[in-house]
Amino acid sequence: MKRRRELEMGSEIRSAIDELSMVVLKVKPAGGPEQHSTCAYIPTKPFLSVCNLLLQVLDKIGPTMAVLRQDVHQNIQRLEKFYESEPSVYSNVVEILSKEGKEGKAKKGPSCSKAFVWLTRSLDFTVTLLQLLVEDFGRDMEQAVDEAYNITLKPWHGWISSAAYKVALKLVPDIKDFITILMAEDENQDMLKEEMRTLISLFLPVLEGIRTILKTFGLDRLKCT
């Protein structure tokens, strides 16, 4: 109930900061996937909690992000289902990647490995967008969303996904409206900026660590088919 009340007050940024404080990664780049499953750690449940908060932010951007939101939601559900099948074993996302890799399933069909890749890229998009906005709350929202998309998602999207995005881009909200609905009830813009900077500073090392792990498992170059 407490989490629900916080989200209703527009405090997704604060909630994400709390969740990220629990996402403590252990990453050792050396070695192959077999070694990495024992020396790398990404806590599954906190990671999925952060991804669920991402859905709240995408909702605030509006219909433009409907396709991305659906994709994020489906990928969260896929990982959650796998995790819940044996929580004590799959409390580490790396164990999931390792299992699918050994079974030859990681890059085939709707795998959890693919879900993890796309959730990471969606988080990367969100962080990049926040970085662009925190520099200047007066900038054009449509341009910021487009720039973040081009940097993080477009290189991996096929022409169908890219075309759908370009149509939806016209529905991006005004920057002032977006900032207003993103703020908690007791916040002003300066406070929101500070929280955004805190969130970004927490996110960047997490994303960098995840990229290292994805590269080790040969998942970093996956594209939409």
pLDDT band at 21 (very low <50, low <70, confident <90, very high): confident
pLDDT band at 66 (very low <50, low <70, confident <90, very high): confident
pLDDT at 167 over 90: no
Residue 222 lies in a domain: no
**pLDDT tens digits along 42-61:** 899 989 998 998 888 877 77
Whole-angstrom distance, CA of residue 195 vs CA of residue 201: 10
> At a CB cut-off of 8 Å and minimum separation 6, what does 11 contact?
184
Q: Which domain holds residue 119?
A: 1-25+38-217
pLDDT in the model for residue 107: 93
Higher pLDDT, 187 or 103: 103
Residue 193: which region, alpha, beta or left (left: phi > 0; alpha: psi -120 to 50)?
alpha
Residue 30 lies in a domain: no
Q: Is residue 188 packed enough to be buried (19+ CB in 10 Å), middle (13-18) or exposed (0-12)?
A: exposed
Whole-angstrom distance, CA of residue 221 vs CA of residue 44: 22
Distances (CA, A) of 57 to 66, 127, 150, 166: 12, 11, 19, 19
Whole-angstrom distance, CA of residue 8 vs CA of residue 83: 28
Whole-angstrom distance, CA of residue 203 vs CA of residue 218: 22
Residue 33 lies in a domain: no
pLDDT band at 1 (very low <50, low <70, confident <90, very high): very low
Residue 225 lies in a domain: no
Question: What CATH code is carried by the domain that includes residue 137?
Answer: 1.10.3520.10
Residue 163 lies in a domain: yes
**pLDDT tens digits along 69-115:** 888 999 999 999 999 999 999 999 999 999 999 999 999 989 999 99
Residue 32 lies in a domain: no
- Give the chain's domain count: 1
The pLDDT > 90 percentage for the chain reads 46
pLDDT in the model for residue 32: 55
Residue 31 lies in a domain: no
